[in-house]
Structure 1
Amino acid sequence: MPRLRIGSHSVSSTALTRLSPARYSAGLVLGADRRRTPVTVRMFRPEPGRIALVGGVWAGQLLAFRALALGARVTVVTAEPAVWNGLGPAALGRVDDRVEIRTEPGAVRPATAQRPTLLIHDVPPAALNTALPEQPWQTRLTIVRRLEPAAWPTLKQSGLCLLQRLGAAESSLAQHALRLPQESARFLQVMADDMLTMVGTDGDRHLWLHQTDLERQVLGPPRR
């Protein structure tokens, strides 16, 4: 799996602000729909939140990148720290304690409305520790690299599910776990690399991610 492209560039916080996704309705901009209308999610709330991402590390890093642009703190629990190392300097142009990469779960600093926390779990479903306490203004993003029956609880316990393109077997599992229409399940198999399907309480919605130049420079092109 390609690592972050660290070391060949740096950016100032001014440049980051200029190149980062705009803020609409106090939400994080995921992309745009087929009408080119911005698609946003309210990533952080006074109550704890859970998001499941069925896809690759690249998409998780993109969400982390955009959360940092909103002023959030990002903590990553991963079995592959080398894949995530350098995220802070790449996104912020400097070493910053707002980004923490660890291999074991544990307590995180309290989150606030001014400094919310995105807690990313990039570990196999069997290694997830769902007993860890959750807190206000903290959102837990669980990356499901491959959708298998063991990951069903993660999807069902999440208020929002984001899906990259899936294979046939994964698409069938997603259809049953999320109660998707047959047409949506078929579309999951043919989505472009730069697309996500968002499934929440209002049904499913397809969107294009529309990377900024800086995001493409740091993270590379869309992939799973």
Structure 2
Amino acid sequence: MATTTYTGTPVAGPAAGTAPAPAAPGRRARTGFGLLGPRRGRHELSAAEFDALALPVADDGVVIGTDEHGAPAVLGTGRPVPFDIVLVGGVWTAQVLALRAVGTGARVAVETGRRQMWTALAQAANTGQQAITLHDVGRVPPQGPAVHSPVLVVRDCGVRPPRGRTGPAPWQSVLTLLPYPGPTTPRLTARADVVGIQRVSPDEARQLGRAMNLPPHDVDTLSTLPDGVTLWCTRTSRTYVTMQPTEPETGLLGAARRMD
């Protein structure tokens, strides 16, 4: 008996001088690849079907609270494109966002003129590595953001923040914290990708309403928002988000508050 060698288990071949059996109709013999297995559809897409292939990456980011329906609200700070955020509100909310960004694997650089308000947070987060770094105003060095090391820059520079040396970039988002609207607010909100607004005075609410194209009901609501509630909006969409701190966040930062 002659033997034919395959990559799989050797299988006995036909006796010498005997013609091989014809292949089954519609199937051609394969040499050197073992026995034919079950026939299944190939995992392939045609060119016309390729556009339907997508990955669910729109819901990743920092959980900033729950929306009006009780569903988690997520702010995608780690993006392959520049992302600019403006928050008109209190430092407490910005600190919770920074702490949660660290929890997602991001590095946080805080540019601030009130370092004492961020020192405890940085010390708590920097366990084994420099997850949160503090910098004086205008002194933030290049952060070197990358897909495996995204960066969130928090600018806590008062109501008139100077132009930053480190701006939005791929995998680097910038959050500008404004305690209340000021002369630079229209310029900052005009270029922002998303704006968060906490409780403000009625006059300030009207100013922000014009800038963000808010309907009258939302303009009236802004002056009555409870602590911990933020209206996150663009010029075409908006949602109210309630931030509920976890026990460790409450122990470190205290309860939700609008004023510092």
TM bin (shorter chain): 0.7 to 0.9
Give the number of equivalent residue pairs: 200
| Equivalent-residue separation in structure 2 for 1:151 and 1:34 (angstroms) | 27
- Report the structure number with the largest CA radius of gyration: 2
Q: How much identity, in percent, do the aligned residues show?
A: 26
Could you tell me which residue of structure 1 aligns to residue 132 of structure 2? 99
CA deviation vs aligned residue, 1:142-172 (integer Å, no higher than 9, x gap): 0011112332111111100011111112111
How far apart are the structure 2 equivalents of 1:209 and 1:98? 22
Alignment of 1:65-144 (within 5 A): 65-91=99-125, 94=127, 96-105=129-138, 106-130=140-164, 132=166, 134-144=168-178
1:148–1:170 CA contact under 8 A, matched in 2: no
User: Structure 2 vs 1, CA of residues 95 and 45 (structure 1 numbering), >3 Å: closer, same or farther?
Assistant: same
The match for 2:199 among 165, 188, 194 is: 165
Aligned to 2:232: 198
In structure 2, give the amino acid aligned to 1:72.
A
TM-score under structure 2 normalisation? 0.72
Return the alpha-carbon distance in structure 2 between the equivalents of residues 134 and 184 of structure 1: 29
What is the Cα deviation at residue 95 of structure 1?
Answer: 5.5
Q: Retained in 1: the 8 A contact 2:212–2:235?
A: no
Higher helix share: 1
Name structure 1 gaps, 5 residues minimum.
Answer: 1-23
TM-score scaled by length of structure 1: 0.83
For residues 127 and 206 of structure 1, the distance between their equivalents in structure 2, rounded to whole angstroms, comes to 26
CA distance in 2, matches of 1:185, 1:86: 35
Q: Which one is further off, 198-207 or 51-60?
A: 198-207
> Is the alpha carbon distance of 1:133 and 1:119 closer, same or farther for their aligned partners in structure 2, counting shifts above 3 Å?
closer
Q: Does 1:215 align with 2:237?
A: no
Residue 35 (structure 1) shift: 1.7
* Matching residue's letter, 1:119: V
| Structure 1 residue 134 displacement after superposition | 3.9
Alignment partners' CA distance in 1, 2:134 and 2:166: 17
Q: Report what 2:75 is aligned to.
A: 41
**CA separation in 2, counterparts of 1:207 and 1:85?**
27
